Amino acid sequence: MVIEINPDALTIAGNLDAQRANGTVLGPLHGIPILIKNNIATADKMDNTAGSYALAGAKVPRDSTIAAKLRKAGAVILGKTNLSQWANYRSFNTSNGWSAIGGQTQGAYYPGQDPSGSSSGSGVSSSLGLALAALGTETDGSILSPSDVNNLVGIKPTVGLTARDLVVPISEHQDTVGPMARTVRDAAYVLAAIAGKSSYDNYTDAIPFDTIPDYVAACNFSALRGKRIGVPRNLIDLTSDPAAAPIVPVFNAALDILRAAGAIVIDNTNFTGYDALSEGNYSNIVLEADFISDLPKEYLSKLSYNPNNIHSVADVRNFTHDFPLEDWPERDTLIWDGALELGYGNTSPEFWSNYTMNTFLAGEMGITGALKNYSLDALVLPTEFSPNFPALIGAPVVTVPLGAYPPNTTVLLNQFGNLNATAPNMPFGISFMGPRFSEELLIGLAYAFEQRTMVRNTITPYIQPTTELADVVHARQRMKEL
């Protein structure tokens, strides 16, 4: 699940300990270990490969803004986590959590569990407590989904709240970076550290406030009181995933918890664009065109050292076909094939017509429309069904543990046939969704729900680390006292 350990982590931690001893504390994350997904670049001794040998040994001229903000906040970047290769944007016939460099990550709640993706290693490592939290990236579900099945809180921020420079991209219109942690408060601390404007990412210019909100202070037990929360019931589509049926009664019971906390729950605030969006191909075209343009422009061209001379999507595909450890053709490159066959990038008129339709169906006929038409503060769904609409308009989501599949659940394999996609004890979550830049509100709602339920503590992984971070800290303290 962890693809690489920072060889300087102990030295960095020692220096931060010395600063603290001298009275200098950089913030709440001072000396705290954080893992980051292996598509977020760091200008240190670690690689940033997106799980592919094509980028092995490549170097960046500086830290990504995200990594720089973590360091400024005093965090120790402990290492890089495995991921679904290229953030799940290579193959149709592959498995979540697999990359050529990192191998196959599995979840901790059932033998051979599908960890979901693409932030698979971030999900499993954070859930097991290998760090306070881990960073994931999301284009459409890649923070929310692994948080969902790994019993985690995941914050998928508004596109533009966190900078994406020197993060291996899929789509500039949908990509975002956010925390995955065991509690809402821990996730809020990390989001506070990484949010903010960056001269390297002009999407952050859209941030509507001069000072980042106090996301930790938003963790208020009474935050649900008086809030109008809608349920777009037509998105809970069991025809697309009948195995998710056990989630629905648990979700319905959660609505009663929201009501008891003072929320006004309005059911059937349905998204009128659901059928058209499901039947159309707009979102695939947007991602293909963005990827063709953004990978070379926003990442490959910025490399200070590029040993495999990878400059385009075509170069990536050719390398993958030629390098045996990339497991081609067992795991295909059909997503890249489709992007290359599209024939245009994200500056063409064809792109903009599809992008406009995407945002109309997901926005005015989806999230934005429902919020306005029903005078809602937020929307709520089982996390299984929540990622797509927010992804298409760059809106935020916070997922919180909700429950787990019952003991009599039938074990179902994933499409690739190597992991258990549904099984007893596999966790699932509930998502709070809102308008762009509403993270402060959503964190409050999620915290108020979390504190009333504490579901995470009721679901036990079948494997657990034998060493806890607290034990290491106490052991070091005892050594100093000797």
- Per-residue pLDDT of the chain (482 residues), as tens digits, is 999 999 999 999 999 999 999 999 999 999 999 999 999 999 999 999 999 999 999 999 999 999 999 999 999 999 999 999 999 999 999 999 999 999 999 999 999 999 999 999 999 999 999 999 999 999 999 999 999 999 999 999 999 999 999 999 999 999 999 999 999 999 999 999 999 999 999 999 999 999 999 999 999 999 999 999 999 999 999 998 999 999 999 999 999 999 999 999 999 999 999 999 999 999 999 999 999 999 999 999 999 999 999 999 999 999 999 999 999 999 999 999 999 999 999 999 999 999 999 999 999 999 999 999 999 999 999 999 999 999 999 999 999 999 999 999 999 999 999 999 999 999 999 999 999 999 999 999 999 999 999 999 999 999 887 766 566 656 656 655 65
Instruction: Report the C-alpha gap between 320 and 346 in whole angstroms.
Output: 24
Instruction: Report the C-alpha gap between 61 and 20 in whole angstroms.
Output: 30
Instruction: Report the C-alpha gap between 56 and 2 in whole angstroms.
Output: 16
The H or E element containing residue 256 is: helix 247-260
What's the pLDDT score for residue 480? 57
Q: Which of 95, 120, 142, 171 is catalytic?
A: 142
Domain 2-481, CATH:
3.90.1300.10
DSSP 307: T
- Is 142 noted as a catalytic residue in this protein? yes
- Is 59 noted as a catalytic residue in this protein? no
Q: What is the DSSP string of 173-241?
A: TT-EEEEEESSHHHHHHHHHHH-S-BTTBGGGGG---SS---TTTT--TTTTTT-EEEE-GGG--TTT-
Q: No. of H helices and E strands in the chain? A: 16, 15
Q: What is the DSSP string of 117-160?
A: SSSHHHHHHHHTTSSSEEEEEESSSTTHHHHHHTT-EEEEPPBT
Instruction: Report the C-alpha gap between 375 and 255 in whole angstroms.
Output: 18
Determine contact, residues 190/135, Cβ cutoff 8 Å.
Answer: yes
- Is 171 noted as a catalytic residue in this protein? no
pLDDT tens readout for residues 394-431:
999 999 999 999 999 999 999 999 999 999 999 999 99
Instruction: Report the C-alpha gap between 229 and 315 in whole angstroms.
Output: 47
Q: Which of 64, 84, 91, 118 is catalytic?
A: 118
Instruction: Report the C-alpha gap between 386 and 156 in whole angstroms.
Output: 11
The H or E element containing residue 247 is: helix 247-260
Instruction: Report the C-alpha gap between 246 and 175 in whole angstroms.
Output: 31
Domain boundaries, the chain: 2-481
Q: Which of 37, 80, 156, 197 is catalytic?
A: 37
pLDDT tens readout for residues 91-137:
999 999 999 999 999 999 999 999 999 999 999 999 999 999 999 99
